[in-house]
Amino acid sequence: MRTLVIIILALMASAFALQVDAETYVVVVGIAQYQDSRANLFLPEKDARTVAAIYKARTEHVATLTGRQATRANIIKVMNAQFAKAGKGDMVVLFFSGHGYEGGFCPYDTRPRFSNTLTYEDIYTVFRRCRATRKVVIADACMSGGIRSKKRSRSRAKSKSDVVMFLSSRTNEKSIETPRMQNGYFTAYLDRGLRGGADTNRDRVITAKEIFTYVSQGVKSLSKGRQHPVMWGNFDDNFVMIDWRQ
């Protein structure tokens, strides 16, 4: 009996050590001023700084691209470089704030008729090269929920890895911003939620279910029902989005 107890304690210690050693690798993108100035927005670069600050409190592995730095080629380059550092058990996070469309996101150098964009296929291609077992995309972008209607994208998401797509709006909706606020509606509640507002059981761990419930309710209320965040992918409710225990 004593031997069995020792073995169990050793296994528990090993599991805890693995959890402590797990790292998070983050790429944050925000584009307010576009190459095509007719497409300019107010708050995405502030959104990027807000989200980068959250993750910098937990990890040193945060790369931030804003404005003209955030070309399609550069976003993919930085994602590949940053996420290649992740090992099994680690988490990788892409945050994007800017223009979106049904097939993906609009980098700084997007061309007319949604050419030269960052597609969901581009993102999944980077994910497939990455060894991390937990992968997250968070986006404050119009029509970002369109991934759910893309059969090809859905097939790419199904893998041995957990993939969370936390998107600010449905396919036919805008992601609302107003210059009276410091962040877009979605990012404002994301910030509050990840910093503890969503921690309903006060265990200092924010799960996928907790953050979705908190942000979804807040955004729907603030927008008076005009914007509905969506969460989709291969994960369960207890998927850990951020852990504040250490």
State the DSSP code for 110.
P
Query: Which residues are within 8 A (CB) of 196 and not within 5 positions of it... i.e. 6 or more apart?
Result: 204, 206, 244
- How far, in Å, CA of 142 to CA of 36, rounded? 17
Express each pLDDT in 26-83 by its tens digit: 999 999 999 998 889 999 999 999 999 999 999 999 999 999 999 999 999 999 999 9
* Residues recorded for the chain: 246
- For 9-18, 82-91, 185-194, which range has the lowest pLDDT when averaged over its residues? 9-18
Whole-number Å distance between alpha carbons of 90 and 83: 10
Q: Which two tokens stand for residue 97?
A: 């704030």
Instruction: Spell out a b/e string for 102-117, using b for 16 or more CB atoms within 10 Å of the CB, else e.
Output: bbbbbbbbbeeeeeeb
101-132 pLDDT, tens digit each: 988 999 999 998 889 999 999 999 999 999 99
φ, ψ (nearest 5 deg) of residue 101: -150, 175
Q: Is the pLDDT of residue 3 over 70?
A: no
Q: In CATH, what number is assigned to the domain containing residue 208?
A: 3.40.50.1460
The string of pLDDT tens digits covering residues 143-180 is: 887 665 544 444 444 444 578 999 999 999 999 999 99
* C-alpha 204, offset from chain centre: 19
Q: Is residue 2 part of a domain?
A: no
Q: Is 6 within the bounds of a domain?
A: no
Overall average pLDDT of the 190-208 stretch: 98
Structure tokens at 233: 């992918």
Name the residue among 117, 120, 150 with its Cα closest to residue 135. Answer: 120
Please check whether residue 1 lies inside any domain of the structure: no
Asked whether residue 9 is domain-assigned, the answer is no
Residue 4 maps to a domain? no
Of 6-20, 178-192, 206-220, where does mean pLDDT reach its minimum? 6-20
Amino acid at 9: L
Q: What total number of domains does the chain contain?
A: 1
Any residues with CB less than 8 A from the CB of 45 and at least 6 apart, and which?
30, 31, 32, 33, 66, 67, 97
Query: 46-50, 124-128, 192-196, 216-220: which has the minimum mean pLDDT?
Result: 124-128
Q: Which domain holds residue 98?
A: 23-243
Which pLDDT value is given to residue 147? Answer: 63
Any domain includes 235: yes
